[in-house]
Chain A
Amino acid sequence: MAMMPALERDLNNMSEYYESGKTKDASWRESQLKGLRSFIMEKQDHIMNALMQDLGKHQLEAFRDEIGTLIKTLNLALKSLKDWMSGKKAKLPQIALLTSAEIVPEPLGLVLIISSWNFPFGLSLEPLIGAVAAGNVAVLKPSELSPACSSLLASGIATYLDNNAIKVVQGGPEETQQLLQQRWDKIFFTGSARVGRIVMSAAVKHLTPVTLELGGKCPAVVDSLSSSWDIGTTVKRIIVGKFGTCAGQACISIDYVLVEKGYCSKLVELMKVWIKKMYGDNPQRSKTIARIVNKHHFSRLKSLLDDKMVKQSVVYGGSMDEENLFIEPTILVNPPLEAAIMSEEIFGPLLPIITVEKIEESIKFINCRPKPLAIYAFTKNQTLQRRMISETSSGSVTFNDAILQYAADSLPFGGVGESGFGMYHGKFSFDTFSHQKAVVRRSFLTDFWYRYPPWTLNKLQLLEVSYNYDYLGLLLVLLGLKRPSKRLISDHI
């Protein structure tokens, strides 16, 4: 492991730099955020090219989903930084004599961010923005499955940011393993549940807190909408939420759809119409759908359709171009539920539609499966909306749209159960890389004899009488946070 000594040396240097206190300064944090913003704005074309190279991602998707959202986040972070950094006063119980209490956020120290290949810039830099805003030093490990992006990140960060504090380590599983052996103050991981377990197990050695952003099968429940405008909009949003976001290779992609039996054919027909409108007769030629990231995932997706019953359920699309790693938008109706396509996260442009007798049955269907990162429901029925929120569990719930919750800074983005734990975006990013330190300040002036032993019967009786079994009062008196009644003092004298 030739890398180890060099890595350890680098990390030691970073820790020392952190100890110097430089990264705690607001001005340093601001300079790094501005540096990131300059990187993204000045190198936009390079970023778009890298995404096209690694994923065949169209410029508009690149801007909409990564570049644009990062600029939005950076603007918010720069605007809010002072506010986020300031301590928050904590309310004190009763008359806590000459005492003040506040919560002071402080950086955790040296943090590790492991990101994924499908949104290589977004999933690397959104956490990094939080880490830097919170005053940490950070190592970023982008995914080797998106090599052009990974290398652009490495050169961009080296050019635009403080190299003493932020480093990029490129490589594959071996490099990740070496990184996981080191001592971190926080690990932020985006990826699969399988690797999530490995990361958390490695974190045990140093009791390192982790955030795990995983995935799951995100369902879209489609109610039998009567208005043609509503169903048309629904279909458009489903198509974008599936095929139009990295060809379904997103942790919050719509994985499958649930719809009432009677409404299914209408839904399918409309989907076919709109797919044609958006992508033309030959979607591959439109060059607006991302391709599958590599042969391994292509084969995985291909094999999902190997099952005879699954193949028979395909009602649209299904053609695959192995050489160009392209799979066209594909719709299936009621593939067998035990098939792999309905038990694993699909992460590709295959959309199963599962029919139910009544739409409310979707709730039970979803609850039989691991908790997903997102649940989508297209409905105007407020009762159904309320039931979806209170009877299912997921990272998030979005009504009448998909994917968009990713762009909402005021909403925490994270999973629950198998889809992960911890959250980020907006201020949640800052908080996830901070320790909320409680600080209490006292004066010497207020101190009372009955706080201290010896606990004589006399003292106990006096206290009991005075406080009438007011336990809180008793506690506060003992801690010297409250004066006793005047009667008590005069009795003693």
Chain B
Amino acid sequence: MSTTLDSHETTSPVEEEQRAFDAEAASLLVKKLREAFASGKTRGYGWRVSQLKALAKLVDDQEQQIVDALGNDIAKPPLETVAYEIAMLKNSCRVALKELKHWMTPEKVKTSIATFPSSAEIVSEPLGVVLIISAWNYPFLLSLDPVIGAIAAGNTVVLKPSEIAPATSSLMAKLLGDYMDNSCIRVVEGAVDETSALLQQKWDKIFYTGNGRVARVVMAAAAKHLTPVVLELGGKSPAVVDSNINLKVATRRIIAGKWCCNNGQACISPDYIITTKDHAPKLVDALKTELETFYGKNPLESKDLSRIVNSNHFARLTKLLDDDKVSGKIVYGGEKDESKLKISPTVLLDVPRDSLIMSEEIFGPLLPILTVDKLEESFDVINSGPKPLAAYIFTNNKKLKEQFVGTISAGGLVINDTTLHLAVHTLPFGGVGESGVGSYHGKFSFDAFSHKKAVLYRSFLGDAPVRYPPYTTTKLRLLKALIGGGILGIIRAVFGWS
């Protein structure tokens, strides 16, 4: 696998192709980027703006290429690509360009009597050379959204896109090479070997999107260099469905969050549903009706559904359906076409809690429904598992809503809808517990790639002799008064009355 090398390097294209990206190559790359960072070129507002604009232009000019690449990699419907990858990226660029001056301005903070007289501010500075490892399901968005944050914060960047979406990976390598400042922003394509070579290096930050298993590999590598990390992972995002709601709208929103999002292959798709035994049949009917409206009678033929990304995942999902414990639980769908890597929207009712499908993140078009006697029990069900990236509830019951917000711990919560918190740039997007560490989007992206440096300005005047030896009892009294005594205490101490 090749890297995007400087054009002035004298190697033939053939040699470049054959040179493996090993630890030595990674080390050289980091060294170059460190030099670029040390030169100060990424620090200025002008450079950052130029790169953000270049990125926005890239997305604009190359829209069709991007749509095609995603069609290739995962048969993603063009509208999904345009709406969820391109539109979101453009919005991120827009927000960053609009707010960058404000983000870069040091934040003045108040000082207290403890440091009087003084003034203070918090200065955001770039961390240096950062590594962004992205995922295959929203390969464009999950690569470039963090890159936007890294650039806005003034860092140099290496992006490692996922090899599981190869058309998008190579498109990004080419486009970033063409549009961006190659002395500061690089793409390294590859798989395990290349990623390992990168992880051996010392980075100032690593931003990883993916699964918990690889996240541990990333964090362990980071620990060697005391590198801070952001880990955007996943989990089983539940959707709790109450009765006495607008079931049609709720169902459509669940479908929108599940199958309209890369056919369920999204970290915040509703993974499974919990509803009451009484309400389940109604919900199943509603799902059947709406699914048929959306995808027709032959969903395997529908062009509005992404396919399963590769045969590994296809086999994994098939295994979930073949599990003995869920046979007979399929109430809708269940059709597969291995040659086309397609699985139709599938709903399962009353799956046992210890089935395979309930023990791992599904990341596919299968929607199990768990039933409980009383809806309040659903909270215990959710809390008994690892904390998910998102959790949803559909209800009109005010008390239930507040209980949900108060007791369910997840990256983000949505009441009466799914997934849309992703699009709100004023909300931090990230997990907790097994679903991840750190957050981004909007200013949170800028902050994720910045160091908040405290700056305290003191005057040479206004010195309190209490600080200095020799330490007398008077000084101790005065010091105590200054801290907790209030003005009377201070007066008393000064006059030696306490």
Residues in A lying within 8 Å of B, measured CB to CB: 19, 21, 24, 58-61, 63-64, 68-69, 71-72, 75, 90-93, 96, 101, 103-104, 106, 108-109, 185, 193, 196-197, 200-201, 203-205, 207, 209, 212, 214, 227, 229-230, 233-234, 236, 239-240, 244, 278-280, 286, 288, 367, 380, 385, 389-391, 393-401, 404-405, 407-413, 416-418, 420-423, 435-444, 447, 451-455, 460, 471-472, 474-476, 478-481
Contacts and interface: CB of A to CB of B under 8 A. Distances in A.
Given A197-B223, A233-B463, A417 B453 contact: no
A207 B459 contact: no
A455 B78 CA distance: 9
Nearest to B126: A393
Given A69-B483, A440-B413, 17 more contacts: A19-B383, A63-B476, A68-B484, A207-B434, A207-B436, A233-B463, A278-B470, A395-B453, A401-B458, A416-B453, A436-B428, A436-B439, A438-B424, A447-B252, A460-B78, A471-B91, A472-B87
A410 B304 contact: no
Contacts of B109: 410-411
B226 interface: yes
Interface stretch (B158-166, B279-287, B315-323, B414-422): B414-422
Nearest to B296: A454
Contacts of B457: 385, 399-400
B399 interface: no
Contacts of B212: 207
A236 B115 contact: no
A451 B252 CA distance: 9
B427 A438 contact: yes
Most buried by B among A90, A203, A478: A478
A409 B120 CA distance: 11
A8 B493 CA distance: 50
B413 A229 contact: no
B90 A472 contact: yes
B454 to A, nearest CB: 4
A288 B470 contact: yes
Most buried by B among A75, A91, A204, A278: A204
A292 B463 CA distance: 28
Contacts of B463: 233, 236
A267 to B, nearest CB: 15
A230 B479 CA distance: 23
B53 interface: no
A437 B453 contact: no
A479 B423 contact: yes
Contacts of A109: 433
Interface of B: 38, 40, 43, 77-79, 82-84, 86-88, 90-91, 94, 109-112, 114-115, 118, 120, 122-123, 125, 127-128, 204, 212, 215-216, 219-220, 222-224, 226, 228, 231, 233, 245-246, 249-250, 252-253, 255-256, 260, 290, 293-296, 302-304, 383, 396, 401, 405-407, 409-417, 420-421, 423-429, 432-434, 436-439, 451-460, 463, 466-471, 475-476, 479-480, 483-484
A380 to B, nearest CB: 8
A454 B295 contact: yes
Contact of B484 (A21, A75, A92, A405): A75
B468 A396 contact: no
Contacts of A236: 463, 468
A438 B93 CA distance: 22
A193 B226 contact: yes
Nearest to B245: A444
Contacts of B94: 472
Given A197-B223, A197-B224, A411-B109, A288 B471 contact: yes
A437 B455 contact: no
Nearest to A278: B469
Given A200-B226, A286-B469, A441-B401, A474 B83 contact: yes
A234 B438 CA distance: 40
A101 B468 contact: no
A438 B421 contact: yes
A413 B439 contact: no
- The list of the 7 closest CB pairs from A to B, nearest first, reads A438-B412, A411-B454, A471-B87, A200-B223, A396-B454, A410-B109, A401-B458
A417 B226 contact: yes
Contacts of A435: 409, 432
A72 to B, nearest CB: 6
A96 B424 CA distance: 10
A202 to B, nearest CB: 9
A440 B111 contact: no
Contacts of B405: 104, 439
A218 to B, nearest CB: 13
A398 B466 CA distance: 20
Nearest to B435: A207
A452 to B, nearest CB: 6
Contacts of B231: 207
B83 A393 contact: no
A212 B468 contact: no
A415 to B, nearest CB: 9
Contact of B226 (A75, A214, A436): A214
A107 to B, nearest CB: 9
B458 A398 contact: yes
Contacts of A193: 226
A91 B426 CA distance: 6
A188 to B, nearest CB: 14
A200 B423 contact: no
B471 A410 contact: no
Given A214-B226, A447-B252, A460-B79, A405 B456 contact: yes
A315 B255 CA distance: 77
A453 B112 contact: no
12 contacts: A72-B483, A92-B426, A240-B468, A244-B468, A288-B469, A422-B228, A437-B410, A440-B420, A440-B424, A454-B296, A471-B91, A474-B87
B454 A207 contact: no
Contacts of A203: 219, 223
Contacts of A200: 219, 222-223, 226
A408 B426 contact: no
A481 B460 contact: no
A61 B110 CA distance: 25
A214 B413 CA distance: 35
B460 A230 contact: yes
Given A408-B115, A412-B122, A454-B294, A442 B415 contact: yes
A407 B114 CA distance: 6
Given A420-B226, A447-B249, A438 B479 contact: no
Contacts of B40: 391
